[in-house]
Amino acid sequence: MIDAWVYIEHDSGEIEDVSLEIVGRLNEIKASLPLRITGFSFGRDPGEIPRKAISQGVEHFIFLRNDLFSFYDTQSYVNGIEGIVRERRPDIILLGATYQGRDLAGRLAARLKTGLAANAITLNIDEKGLLYTGVPGYGGRFIAEIVNMKARPQISTVRQGIFRKLPQDNSRSGEVENIEVKFGDFSPRLRVVERVRKDVKDITKSERVVIIGNGAGNNLKPIEDFARLIGADIGVTRPVADRGLAPRDIQVGSTGVSLNSKLVIIFGSSGSNHFVSGIERCKNVISIDVDRNSNIFNYSDYCVVADMFTILPYLNRRFGGQ
């Protein structure tokens, strides 16, 4: 039996989609392999988390309890999971490529002296339990297949929005283990003074997204107005996030998020490989760029060669703005 564990990341009991997407993919693989899918999570109180995860395809759930797990802290979480991984020796551990998942995976892999494949977009397992992860290389120009032949467990983070969750089915059943983690004399170096929730939209699920590229300079307002007028959410390319003009959470691309939108309108992006890997699953892509040779046009359904600041006032009036 191949033992695959999935980190079921949650925020106050709300499970991250990517965790369930990984579970969905493992269930597809399980149709042709003897695979046991275990979810694991941390917190003070499991609440509904195990039941929700089981209803979406987890067969066995391990909930690690301790007061220190009431907020994410790398040290506490890694100390909490390390012992149980050493004792039970899962073949595979998969985590979502979220901020938390990336952080936890790196530290855990280093502790266990094993490898880590980051940001996988394909996942396959063979009958010997070898995990094959497809990871985009050189800005998405090719997919490198990574296999960890020796060290165990095989650990990988998995990109959001690639795989499908199973539909929720409350008749699914599974085993739940609640484990009280004892830390001995460990005291965390991090103390949370205040928790502030950022009000940032998850644009991976948005139907319409307007993307602000570097060509906009610091003048984001007319594009933001346009997005509001057509009921779209905002995404940005990396230079815009780098300049602190928008939160990193809405950066689109290989080190940002991947969109699944019906409509994407891009203002002033040259279409680097790192950026376009974030829009390749979108249905209709419209791009506006002054440079008719811009690479973004090779990834667009409609190409507008124009200065955005010339056409934006017209567009905004056309959609009812000032």
Ligand X SMILES: Cc1cc2nc3c(=O)[nH]c(=O)nc-3n(C[C@H](O)[C@H](O)[C@H](O)COP(=O)(O)OP(=O)(O)OC[C@H]3O[C@@H](n4cnc5c(N)ncnc54)[C@H](O)[C@@H]3O)c2cc1C
Interaction site with ligand X (CB under 6 A):
213-215, 237-239, 251-256, 268-270, 272, 274-275, 288-291, 294, 307-309
173: tokens are: 């059943």
Of the pair 84, 143, the CB lying nearest ligand X is at 143
Task: Tell me the closest approach of the beta carbon of residue 59 to ligand X, in angstroms.
Answer: 35
Task: Tell me the closest approach of the beta carbon of residue 214 to ligand X, in angstroms.
Answer: 3
Using CB atoms within 10 Å of the CB of residue 312, give its burial: 0 to 12 exposed, 13 to 18 middle, 19+ buried: buried
Of the pair 4, 216, the CB lying nearest ligand X is at 216
Distance of CA 55 to the CA centre of its chain: 21
**198 Cβ contact list (under 8 Å, min separation 6):** 247, 249
Of the pair 165, 274, the CB lying nearest ligand X is at 274
Task: Tell me the closest approach of the beta carbon of residue 18 to ligand X, in angstroms.
Answer: 17
Of the pair 122, 270, the CB lying nearest ligand X is at 270
Task: Tell me the closest approach of the beta carbon of residue 301 to ligand X, in angstroms.
Answer: 18
Task: Tell me the closest approach of the beta carbon of residue 119 to ligand X, in angstroms.
Answer: 11
Task: Tell me the closest approach of the beta carbon of residue 255 to ligand X, in angstroms.
Answer: 4
Of the pair 57, 253, the CB lying nearest ligand X is at 253
Q: Using an 8 Å Cβ cutoff, are 170 and 55 in contact?
A: yes
Residue 51: closest CA among 135, 157, 175: 175
Of the pair 265, 288, the CB lying nearest ligand X is at 288
**217 Cβ contact list (under 8 Å, min separation 6):** none
Q: Using an 8 Å Cβ cutoff, are 152 and 290 in contact?
A: no
CA distance 217 to 215: 5
Of the pair 106, 239, the CB lying nearest ligand X is at 239
**7 Cβ contact list (under 8 Å, min separation 6):** 19, 39, 40, 41, 93, 94, 95, 96, 101, 104, 105
DSSP 218: T
Q: What is the DSSP string of 100-168?
A: HHHHHHHHHHHHHT--EEEEESEEEE-TT--EEEEEEEGGGTEEEEEE--SSSSEEEEE-TTSSPPPPP
Task: Tell me the closest approach of the beta carbon of residue 150 to ligand X, in angstroms.
Answer: 28
